Structure 1
Amino acid sequence: MQPQTSREYIAAMQGKIHDVLGPLIGKAPMAIVDFPDIRNVGDSAIWLGEIAYLKQHYHKSPDYVSKIEDFSDRQLERKVPQGPIFIHGGGNFGDIWVSHQNFRERILKRWPDRLIVQFPQSIHYDSDARVEESARVIAKHKNFVLLVRDQESLEFARKRFDCEVKLCPDMAFCIGTLDAMPPPSIPLLAMLREDKEKVASRDGTAELDCPVEDWIKEPKLPVRWAKTLGTMAAISTLDRIAMRKSMFDAAAAQRFGRGTRQLARARAIVTDRLHVHIVSLLMGKPHAVLDNSYGKITRFMDAFPGGMDLTYRARSLQDGMQWAREQAASVAGVAKEAAR
């Protein structure tokens, strides 16, 4: 059997996603809540994948969308009186990013009988008491489907939660391959976390001979959310929600574009971010992978192995940098030959 290329891997991930989600999405109206109005490009990649999946397979968009801050029970019920409620995916199921968990449980409490689907998540709790609290909320719900993107999360959820749990790849794969990218201008880029999930003991970054960055910093977006939404008070609810959906998609696309331009500068990358790994695969970019604070990347790659023509599992930051240097030199050599 031929080794699976990254393109074949992406297609396989899309197929696995459809196998799981296909039975959960029909013709009825649907909602997606917890739009990620945050600077992290990875969350925007997930949102764009969720929207792309609906368009590709069902030629539809969600009938109601919201952030945590502008969520309205009344508007959701008006727009989606009977259809499923989907909760945005990512890596915030647990007690690291507690505002998202609180919101998720609020939705489950509010609609205990409706189909609620959690787009693929990684699960991590530090507090067993918080696990028990989540378990009580989930146990009272009668139709919750929890999608997870690694085996550890699958086993944990099946052991601790009374709900249907399925393994599903990350939704960012539904964006598909990204071919039309600008040529690289630097050999190497280290994309390392600066948030709650960073590895505190990561040594040697000051001595790296390449830019060391993250993708959670951004200039102000051209759309001022509060001001713009405030001017929509006189617009009908139908138009207001449609405009909100367009604004969310535009913001996610802008953030994703910022992230892909950031990655495109380098011939090879070293990263401890799951979505730098996934987006690098979509871009055809060689990259060495380290792990975050609780093993999220390794867990995902173990659950869905493949794409190793572009990916190297580094044993250390220095090991990853050495591999990336070799890849960058190889990419430069190929480009030089092609230019002759």
Structure 2
Amino acid sequence: MTSQSRTELIAKLNGMIHDCLKDYVSRDEPLAILDFPGIRNCGDSAIWLGEMAYLKDRFGKRPDYVCRTADFSAGELKKRVPTGPIFIHGGGNFGDIWVSHQDFREAIMERFPDRQIVQFPQSIHYSSPERIEQSARAIARHKNFVLLVRDEESKEFSEKHFDRTVRLCPDMAFAIGPLPDRATLISVLAMLREDAERVGGTDRKIPSDIPVEDWITKSKRKVDIAKKLGAASAFLALKPSEVALRKLDAAAHNSFERGISQISRARAIVTDRLHVHICSLLLGRPHAVLDNSYGKIRRFMNAFSGGTDLSYKATSLEDGIEWARHQAGQGARG
């Protein structure tokens, strides 16, 4: 895949994002974004930064109220965003794997029944029929909920179970745009999940010369530095809404940079994380893709990002490693 075709793919997906969101954002009307990802997953930080980039690049604006689930204030939201849409951060937590986020989402629908609520693109997965019914009731009661999803399976599921118009939309991380290339230090890197979406047991057979990592490990020193930089930036802000936003942005930038620095070391990557796939595309780095526990990555690739020379749908971990070794060898010779 050439640099030009990678750029064209990213531009195409950004155009699709704008087609989905342009009717819900106005230059003159305030908006809120809830559920900032204060977690270790660098992919969620990439989504957040993409959401910020989209608003800035397309509308020249910033959100007027932001929060994590833990520090949400209905009073502050009403004060800073008395009208306009309420956006909820995108990702892969719509359903009953990451229940706290779904609880928060449904609580917002209940508390703001007359406000437009827009769900940034999500992958949807439920295991419990009872929880599906609970979510369906919450959505049915709300008269102005907009649901964007990241794959056809999520769209079909939502149209079957929820009384709501559902739109297919690429992941917001693509709004970051192409990333500049970086120097490589190793041949192949295995970036494999260690959380609730992991596939398989602990007996992965990986050659000893291939580092095996995940990107949910934080450096306490770097986190502390990011917090201090965020506080210093917030001190210079004039609007109260900008104070909180600058602090959260600093944390997101630190997390994203950590993830990009981690994967860019390798000439080729093997992964079962969706945003390692997405960020590898943004970097222009070849990568073999396995899947998470419920098929999220393949579903997304089938909808938007598959079929390029940069990514390979591996049939097994061994197959992915063999492909990545071949790609890394070609890169070294090139």
Deviation at 1:205, TM superposition (A): 3.6
1:175-324 equivalences in 2 (<5 Å): 175-179=176-180, 181-201=181-201, 203-220=203-220, 221-222=223-224, 239-306=239-306, 308-324=308-324
**Partner amino acid, structure 1, of 2:156:** E
Provide Cα deviations, 1:250-273, integer angstroms capped at 9, x if missing partner: 110111000000011100000000
**Partner amino acid, structure 2, of 1:222:** D
Distance 2:306 2:215 in 1: 25
8 Å contact from structure 2 (residues 226, 250) kept in 1: no
Provide Cα deviations, 1:216-272, integer angstroms capped at 9, x if missing partner: 00112126879x99xx9xx9x984432110011111011100000001110000000
Distance 1:31 1:159 in 2: 29
8 Å contact from structure 2 (residues 80, 241) kept in 1: no
| 1:164 aligned partner | 165
List alignment gaps of at least 5 residues for structure 2. Answer: none
Deviation at 1:7, TM superposition (A): 1.9
3-state SS in 2 of match to 1:43: helix
Distance 1:98 1:53 in 2: 27
3-state SS in 2 of match to 1:187: strand
Q: 1:205 to 1:215 in 2, by over 3 A?
A: farther
Bigger shift: residues 214-223 or 138-147: 214-223
| 1:337 aligned partner | none
Distance 1:135 1:249 in 2: 33
3-state SS in 2 of match to 1:301: helix
Percent of aligned pairs with the same amino acid: 60
Distance 2:227 2:267 in 1: 36
Distance 2:302 2:270 in 1: 19
**Partner amino acid, structure 2, of 1:55:** K
> Which contiguous aligned blocks of 4+ residues in structure 1 show a shift greater than 6 angstroms?
none
Deviation at 1:291, TM superposition (A): 0.3
8 Å contact from structure 1 (residues 9, 307) kept in 2: no
3-state SS in 2 of match to 1:5: helix
List alignment gaps of at least 5 residues for structure 1. Answer: 335-340
| 2:58 aligned partner | 57
TM-score computed with the length of structure 1 as normaliser: 0.91
Equivalent residue pairs, number: 325
Provide Cα deviations, 1:149-185, integer angstroms capped at 9, x if missing partner: 0000000001101122100000000000001x43101
**Partner amino acid, structure 1, of 2:164:** C
8 Å contact from structure 1 (residues 9, 306) kept in 2: no
Distance 2:204 2:134 in 1: 40
| 1:106 aligned partner | 107
Deviation at 1:204, TM superposition (A): 3.0
RMSD, matched Cα: 2.1
| 2:39 aligned partner | 38
TM-score computed with the length of structure 2 as normaliser: 0.93
